[in-house]
Amino acid sequence: MKRYVDGYVLPIKKRNLKAYRKMAAKAGKVWMKHGALQYVECAGEDLKSMAKWGCVTFPKLAKAKAGETVIFAYVVYKSRAHRDKVNAKVMKEFTAHPPDCETKKVPFEMRRMTVGGFETIVCLG
Protein backbone atom coordinates (compact mmCIF):
# COMPACT_ATOMS: atom_id res chain seq x y z
CA MET A 1 0.00 0.00 0.00
CA LYS A 2 1.42 3.38 -0.97
CA ARG A 3 2.02 5.88 1.79
CA TYR A 4 3.65 9.29 2.08
CA VAL A 5 6.38 9.98 4.63
CA ASP A 6 7.94 13.13 6.02
CA GLY A 7 11.50 12.32 7.07
CA TYR A 8 13.78 14.25 9.42
CA VAL A 9 17.46 13.97 10.26
CA LEU A 10 19.12 16.24 12.80
CA PRO A 11 22.19 16.27 14.98
CA ILE A 12 21.65 16.84 18.68
CA LYS A 13 23.85 17.10 21.75
CA LYS A 14 23.55 13.87 23.71
CA ARG A 15 22.91 15.85 26.89
CA ASN A 16 19.77 17.30 25.23
CA LEU A 17 18.15 13.95 24.41
CA LYS A 18 15.88 13.96 27.45
CA ALA A 19 14.48 17.41 26.60
CA TYR A 20 14.16 16.43 22.94
CA ARG A 21 12.29 13.22 23.82
CA LYS A 22 9.80 15.21 25.92
CA MET A 23 9.27 17.77 23.13
CA ALA A 24 8.96 15.05 20.46
CA ALA A 25 6.41 13.07 22.49
CA LYS A 26 4.20 16.16 22.77
CA ALA A 27 4.59 16.96 19.08
CA GLY A 28 3.83 13.37 18.12
CA LYS A 29 0.54 13.47 20.01
CA VAL A 30 -0.48 16.52 17.99
CA TRP A 31 0.39 14.86 14.66
CA MET A 32 -1.50 11.70 15.63
CA LYS A 33 -4.51 13.70 16.86
CA HIS A 34 -4.75 15.35 13.45
CA GLY A 35 -4.57 12.11 11.47
CA ALA A 36 -0.97 10.98 10.99
CA LEU A 37 -0.82 7.20 10.71
CA GLN A 38 2.48 6.83 12.56
CA TYR A 39 4.98 9.13 14.29
CA VAL A 40 8.45 7.78 15.04
CA GLU A 41 11.52 9.44 16.60
CA CYS A 42 14.80 7.51 16.88
CA ALA A 43 18.10 8.45 18.54
CA GLY A 44 21.29 7.17 16.94
CA GLU A 45 22.95 4.22 18.64
CA ASP A 46 24.91 2.23 16.00
CA LEU A 47 25.87 4.93 13.53
CA LYS A 48 29.28 3.95 12.21
CA SER A 49 29.24 0.20 11.57
CA MET A 50 28.46 0.53 7.85
CA ALA A 51 31.40 2.87 7.22
CA LYS A 52 33.56 -0.18 6.51
CA TRP A 53 31.40 -0.80 3.42
CA GLY A 54 32.01 2.71 2.14
CA CYS A 55 28.67 4.11 3.30
CA VAL A 56 28.36 7.70 4.46
CA THR A 57 27.54 7.56 8.16
CA PHE A 58 24.67 9.50 9.68
CA PRO A 59 27.03 11.58 11.86
CA LYS A 60 28.95 12.63 8.74
CA LEU A 61 25.77 13.26 6.75
CA ALA A 62 24.28 15.36 9.57
CA LYS A 63 27.63 17.03 10.31
CA ALA A 64 27.40 15.92 13.93
CA LYS A 65 30.04 17.33 16.25
CA ALA A 66 31.77 15.71 19.21
CA GLY A 67 29.23 14.95 21.94
CA GLU A 68 26.33 14.78 19.47
CA THR A 69 24.22 11.97 18.10
CA VAL A 70 21.68 11.94 15.29
CA ILE A 71 17.90 11.86 15.40
CA PHE A 72 16.16 10.01 12.58
CA ALA A 73 12.42 10.61 12.56
CA TYR A 74 9.47 10.09 10.28
CA VAL A 75 5.74 10.67 10.10
CA VAL A 76 3.55 8.43 7.93
CA TYR A 77 0.46 9.57 6.03
CA LYS A 78 -2.00 8.04 3.56
CA SER A 79 -0.86 10.29 0.71
CA ARG A 80 0.73 13.65 -0.07
CA ALA A 81 -2.72 15.27 0.02
CA HIS A 82 -3.40 13.68 3.42
CA ARG A 83 -0.03 14.91 4.68
CA ASP A 84 -0.78 18.45 3.53
CA LYS A 85 -4.14 18.41 5.34
CA VAL A 86 -2.65 16.97 8.56
CA ASN A 87 0.26 19.40 8.57
CA ALA A 88 -2.07 22.36 8.00
CA LYS A 89 -4.04 21.35 11.11
CA VAL A 90 -0.85 20.78 13.10
CA MET A 91 0.57 24.18 12.16
CA LYS A 92 -2.76 25.86 12.98
CA GLU A 93 -2.71 24.27 16.43
CA PHE A 94 0.94 25.19 16.98
CA THR A 95 0.14 28.79 16.02
CA ALA A 96 -2.81 28.95 18.43
CA HIS A 97 -1.06 27.02 21.21
CA PRO A 98 2.72 27.11 20.74
CA PRO A 99 4.51 23.97 21.94
CA ASP A 100 7.34 24.19 24.46
CA CYS A 101 9.84 24.47 21.63
CA GLU A 102 8.26 27.81 20.67
CA THR A 103 8.32 29.23 24.17
CA LYS A 104 11.57 27.71 25.45
CA LYS A 105 14.97 27.04 23.97
CA VAL A 106 14.75 24.27 21.37
CA PRO A 107 17.10 21.38 22.36
CA PHE A 108 18.70 21.31 18.88
CA GLU A 109 19.72 23.72 16.14
CA MET A 110 16.80 24.08 13.69
CA ARG A 111 19.10 25.27 10.89
CA ARG A 112 20.93 21.93 11.02
CA MET A 113 17.77 19.85 10.59
CA THR A 114 17.05 18.22 7.24
CA VAL A 115 13.42 17.58 6.27
CA GLY A 116 11.78 16.13 3.19
CA GLY A 117 8.60 14.52 1.92
CA PHE A 118 8.87 11.06 0.37
CA GLU A 119 6.52 8.89 -1.62
CA THR A 120 6.94 5.25 -0.66
CA ILE A 121 8.15 2.99 -3.46
CA VAL A 122 8.44 -0.24 -1.45
CA CYS A 123 6.60 -0.93 1.81
CA LEU A 124 6.66 -4.41 3.35
CA GLY A 125 5.07 -5.27 6.65
> Which tens digit of pLDDT belongs to each residue from 27-62?
999 999 999 999 999 999 999 888 889 999 999 999
What stretches of the chain show up as alpha helix (H) in DSSP? 17-33, 58-61, 80-96, 100-103
Centroid of chain to Cα 22: 13
- 12-34 pLDDT tens trace: 999 999 999 999 999 999 999 99
CATH class, 4-119 region? alpha beta
What is the band of 125 on the pLDDT scale with cuts at 50, 70, 90? confident
> Which residues are CB-contacts of 85 (< 8 A; sequence separation ≥ 6)?
35
